Structure 1
Amino acid sequence: MNAATDLINCLGMERLKLKGTLVIWLAIFAPGFVVVVAFVAGYADGERFYQPGVNPWNNFCEHLLAGWSLFIFPLYISLLSALYAALEHQNRAWGYLYSLPVLKSSIYLSKLLVLTALIVLSHTALFVLGFCAGSLIGLLKPAFGFQNYAMSAFMPVACLHLFVCGLGMIVIQLLISLWYPSFIIPAGFGLFATLAGAIARSFQVSHFSPYLWPFVFLNNTLGVNNWNYAILGWSVCTYLLGAYISMFFLGRRSRV
């Protein structure tokens, strides 16, 4: 077997493992939670947020992106990666996986690619559910004017870029989750890193934390020309380097 065949076979195994688990549902629930909070706030206090003659979608999308990038997205990756790795830890399946006639690197890469695909799903859900929620506010509260404007063009672009900004977090959290069998350690680490970044976000040094990169990328503005695009390169480099380091260390353990 070659490396590509091994990877395809491992991806097939991962797909079967995910059936009937909460992992995929979490990918929908996390962005759904942000959308519900923004919907409730917009529906109840829309008079404060949406001004006559101004596109209400701008304010609504700003609430979605701020809540998602600063708190929910990092916590979601931490919980998702820990829950995903727990599928193997709880069943003591690592010995079996490493006994299969496939490259150990393929086992790790298949998990990294599946986790990355789930993050793509979550950002797609954030955009779709956000559009549905805003449209529903327009139906229930016509005075806010949602039905008179189109959804802001920056929203799908922001979702795509925030996904890229999260690549660094993905590779870090997956390594911690695979290395430690305890669910508490990766979940707790992600929680601590998220809270520390949120508290210290006004300090320049905190911007080097991958857990703050999605928020730093937006740069407190809706203007796409003013977003911090350098973060995208940092995140991609962390993803690739982290994947190589993870394969190096995990591949040298008989069991994880």
Structure 2
Amino acid sequence: MKGFILSFRSEFYKTRKTLGFWGAIILPVLISLLAFVAVYTKSDKFVNTPPMMLWVQLSMISLGSMGSLLLPIYTIFVAYSVNNVEHKADTWKTLFSLPLSRWAVYGAKYFYALFLLFLCLALFVIFNIAFGNLLGALKPELKFGEYHMELELVQVYYKLFLSALGILSIQFLLSLLWADFLKPMGLGFVATITGVILASNNWEYSYLFPYAHPMGAVRSMIKNNKGPANHLEINIYTHEVYVSLIVAVVVFVAGYYIVQRRSIK
């Protein structure tokens, strides 16, 4: 465990100046800010909108972009950037020659990439809530304060996080095995576009394709319930999430065994 903690900490120091790290912060700030500006500048069009729908309109600006392309692409880039540090410096052999188990090195790298993905989505929740309340304060005619959507936003982004784990595991393994940029990133981009096409065309088996999971997760977000019209119930554990978790675990374990037996040059 001590080796894992040391490896995890070293990942932070190695990547704290990279785009992969700062992307986890900049991406939610920029997109949430754009959503804020869009609603603020067109506030007259939202004056008669019910409070719940105001929150939905604000949140969907971020969710629409994250669920379709940005989340898969960012996940692919994070997996690449964490391993590219070692590829670029040619330090894999040195890293695995340290008095640390390969599990500690492999696990720390994977969970650091997982942490960056979690940080990015957690900041989306925080900034969505913050900018929604700020809009309510700056534009009192927009009744953001009359509805609380904090729990639903946490559930939504938690589902997105789970839906991206399969992609993260696949891309992490590919970027660990291949040093060049084109193979893991190129395959990831092609798979993402394929996943978007499958999910947007409602192919019944799209939930079996990991790169379609984020968009599928957004599309299956709202439960079909007969409750009050001013209440949202988020459907978290859908087919996409279950398959994503299975793929994530299987590929993570398979990746460890590959690294365990692979000679690092």
Tell whether the structures are fold-level matches, with TM greater than 0.5: yes
Report the counterpart of residue 27 of structure 1 in structure 2: 24
The equivalent position to 1:239 in structure 2, one of 223, 237, 248, is: 248
Distance 1:82 1:200, change over 3 A: same
Report the counterpart of residue 218 of structure 1 in structure 2: 218
Report the counterpart of residue 204 of structure 1 in structure 2: 204
Report the counterpart of residue 253 of structure 1 in structure 2: 262
Letter in 2 for 1:170: L
Alpha-carbon distance, 1:130 to partner: 0.9
**Partners in 2 of 1:240 and 1:62 — Cα distance?**
30
Correspondence 1:38 to 2:35 = yes
Matches within 5 A, 1:137-152: 137-151=135-149
The unaligned stretches of length 5 or more in structure 1 are none
The equivalent position to 2:97 in structure 1, one of 96, 99, 112, is: 99
- Encode CA deviations 1:156-201: one digit per residue, 9 max, x unaligned: 1111122112111111111111111112332222222222222232
Alpha-carbon distance, 1:47 to partner: 4.5
Report the counterpart of residue 156 of structure 2 in structure 1: 158
Identity, in percent, stands at 26
Report the counterpart of residue 177 of structure 2 in structure 1: 179
**Partners in 2 of 1:57 and 1:34 — Cα distance?**
15
The SS at the match of 2:30 is helix
Instruction: Check conservation: 1:38, 1:63, Cα contact below 8 A.
Output: yes
Letter in 2 for 1:211: Y
Alpha-carbon distance, 1:74 to partner: 0.5
**Partners in 1 of 2:262 and 2:47 — Cα distance?**
56
Instruction: Check conservation: 1:219, 1:226, Cα contact below 8 A.
Output: no
Which segment is superposed worse, 211-220 or 116-125? 211-220
- Encode CA deviations 1:20-52: one digit per residue, 9 max, x unaligned: 333321111222233133223322334555643
- Encode CA deviations 1:87-123: one digit per residue, 9 max, x unaligned: 1111011111122232223211110111111111111
**Partners in 1 of 2:127 and 2:95 — Cα distance?**
37
Report the counterpart of residue 116 of structure 1 in structure 2: 114
**Partners in 2 of 1:228 and 1:47 — Cα distance?**
37
Report the counterpart of residue 89 of structure 1 in structure 2: 87
- Encode CA deviations 1:197-250: one digit per residue, 9 max, x unaligned: 222321223332212212212335534355552332222211111111111222
Instruction: Check conservation: 2:77, 2:185, Cα contact below 8 A.
Output: yes
Letter in 2 for 1:59: Q
Letter in 1 for 2:18: T
The unaligned stretches of length 5 or more in structure 2 are 224-232
Report the counterpart of residue 190 of structure 1 in structure 2: 188
Which segment is superposed worse, 70-79 or 218-227? 218-227
Report the counterpart of residue 62 of structure 1 in structure 2: 60
Instruction: Check conservation: 1:154, 1:222, Cα contact below 8 A.
Output: no
**Partners in 2 of 1:120 and 1:197 — Cα distance?**
22
RMSD: 2.3
TM-score w.r.t. length of structure 1: 0.88
Distance 1:210 1:31, change over 3 A: farther
TM-score w.r.t. length of structure 2: 0.85
Which segment is superposed worse, 12-21 or 188-197? 12-21
* Number of residue-to-residue matches in the alignment: 253
Report the counterpart of residue 9 of structure 1 in structure 2: 6
Instruction: Check conservation: 2:4, 2:108, Cα contact below 8 A.
Output: yes
